[in-house]
Amino acid sequence: MRERSARLLDWYDVHARDLPWRVPPASSARPDPYRIWLSEVMLQQTTVAAVKDYFARFTAIWPDVHALAAAEDAEVMAAWAGLGYYARARNLLACARVVSNELDGAFPDTEPALLKLPGIGPYTAAAIAAIAFDRRAVVVDGNVERVVTRLEAIETPLPAAKPAIRAATDAITPAVRPGDFAQAMMDLGATICTPRSPSCMLCPLAEDCGARIAGIAPDLPRKTPKAPRPERRGHLYIARQGELWLIETRPGRGMLGGTLGFPTSDWSDAPDPAPPFEAPWRELGEVRHGFTHFQLTLTVHHTDQPGNPDRGAYAPLDPDALPTLFRKAHALAT
């Protein structure tokens, strides 16, 4: 019986997904570290389907790390708008500037050096080292966690199982084709070894999958239950003067940091109204938006009366440059 990694690579040679940032397996072409890095950052907690258009747009506007490093902060934030987790965009630009200005445009080719860069954590450092530089690295993302947990029938719930999962992944990671192995594990998790209703009949590793043999593959990985999301409320203010809208750049840290938005009150259980200036505000309705750890309802107020706002400025507005929460409010006012 061939080794598991060899069988997985054979499967990958036939079934690898065709992705814009990927070099086909067995191709002689070397992947571009800039494109691998950009794709890996965009893919953090984000689906392939959601990333594709953003990746095409970014690489068209900024084809290499020097071009991206020279971009204005606001340009990059606007291009990232809608993709979520905006700290990634801030770190992306910070990382590009370090690589462009201090490393002569060359991404580091080792895990420890990659880890020092902003926005690159343990997963991304390992992924770039393996995929872009063909270095053996233990690449563990959510897909790999699920595949390995099932393969080894690890019943310890996440996140407590993480050390055991990493050790098991290390044990099956080959020295040859480490980048293809990592991508094969992730493709397997994304297309065969899915969270619900895994297609074990099609799996190249089915014969040595402990969870499948025990009949518990769909139940793994087990997870410690998460607390219910609390409800928060607030007020949002849309002030309009013809084609000009009162908008502000939100503070660099915290919720939606660095993005454009309409002025709001704080988001708490019992928010005080906080209009940017005194005026006869008219209530337009409510917008609801779910975040990772709370559910938000904002009451939307509108005025076309002039005033001296205590924050933000009047400017033309492209709704595509807004995060989704503010797009919803904008839609309510048009």
Partner DNA sequence: GAGCCGTGGAA
Partner DNA sequence: TTTCCAAGGCT
- Choosing from 50, 78, 216, 274, the residue that interacts with DNA (CB under 7 A) is 50
96 belongs to the binding site for DNA (CB under 7 A):
no
In what helix (H) or strand (E) does residue 12 lie, and over which residues does it extend?
helix 4-15
168 belongs to the binding site for DNA (CB under 7 A):
no
CB of 206 closer than 8 Å to CB of 217: no
186 belongs to the binding site for DNA (CB under 7 A):
yes
255 belongs to the binding site for DNA (CB under 7 A):
yes
- Choosing from 38, 43, 93, 238, the residue that interacts with DNA (CB under 7 A) is 43
CB of 114 closer than 8 Å to CB of 92: no
Token pair, residue 259, equals 């993005």
Question: What would you report as the CA-atom Rg of the chain, rounded to the nearest whole angstrom?
Answer: 23
- Choosing from 215, 228, 242, 280, the residue that interacts with DNA (CB under 7 A) is 228
Instruction: Tell me whether strands 295-303 and 231-241 are parallel, antiparallel or unpaired.
Output: parallel
Q: Which is nearer to DNA, 195 or 273 (CB)?
A: 195
Q: Which is nearer to DNA, 120 or 211 (CB)?
A: 120
Q: Which is nearer to DNA, 258 or 303 (CB)?
A: 258
Q: Which is nearer to DNA, 96 or 281 (CB)?
A: 96
Collapsed DSSP state (helix, strand, coil) of residue 319: helix
Q: Taking the complex as a whole, how short is the minimal distance between the CB of residue 302 and DNA, in angstroms?
A: 21
- Nearest Cα to Cα of residue 19 among 39, 41, 44: 39
Q: Which is nearer to DNA, 189 or 303 (CB)?
A: 189
The one-letter amino acid at 57:
R
H helices present in 176-246, as ranges? 178-191, 210-214
Torsion of CA 237, 239, 244, 247, to 10 degrees: -30
In what helix (H) or strand (E) does residue 239 lie, and over which residues does it extend?
strand 231-241
249 belongs to the binding site for DNA (CB under 7 A):
no
32 belongs to the binding site for DNA (CB under 7 A):
no
- List the x/- string, 266-285, binding to DNA by CB under 7 A: --------------------
CB of 31 closer than 8 Å to CB of 135: no
Q: Taking the complex as a whole, how short is the minimal distance between the CB of residue 84 and DNA, in angstroms?
A: 3
- List the x/- string, 133-162, binding to DNA by CB under 7 A: --------xxx--x------------x---
48 belongs to the binding site for DNA (CB under 7 A):
yes
Distance in angstroms (rounded) separating the CA atoms of residues 51 and 189: 18
Q: Which of 3, 40, 152, 155 is catalytic?
A: 40
The one-letter amino acid at 198:
P
Q: Taking the complex as a whole, how short is the minimal distance between the CB of residue 279 and DNA, in angstroms?
A: 27
- Choosing from 254, 270, 280, 308, the residue that interacts with DNA (CB under 7 A) is 254
What are the residues facing 232 on neighbouring strands? 296
40 is catalytic: yes
Distance in angstroms (rounded) separating the CA atoms of residues 130 and 148: 18
The one-letter amino acid at 62:
W
Q: Taking the complex as a whole, how short is the minimal distance between the CB of residue 241 and DNA, in angstroms?
A: 25
- Choosing from 123, 133, 181, 262, the residue that interacts with DNA (CB under 7 A) is 123
66 belongs to the binding site for DNA (CB under 7 A):
no
Distance in angstroms (rounded) separating the CA atoms of residues 113 and 3: 32
The one-letter amino acid at 151:
L
Residues forming the site for DNA (CB under 7 A) = 17, 19, 21-22, 39-40, 43-50, 82-87, 91, 118-125, 127, 141-143, 146, 159, 183, 186-187, 189-190, 194-196, 223, 226-229, 254-257, 289-293, 323-325
> Catalytic amino acids?
40
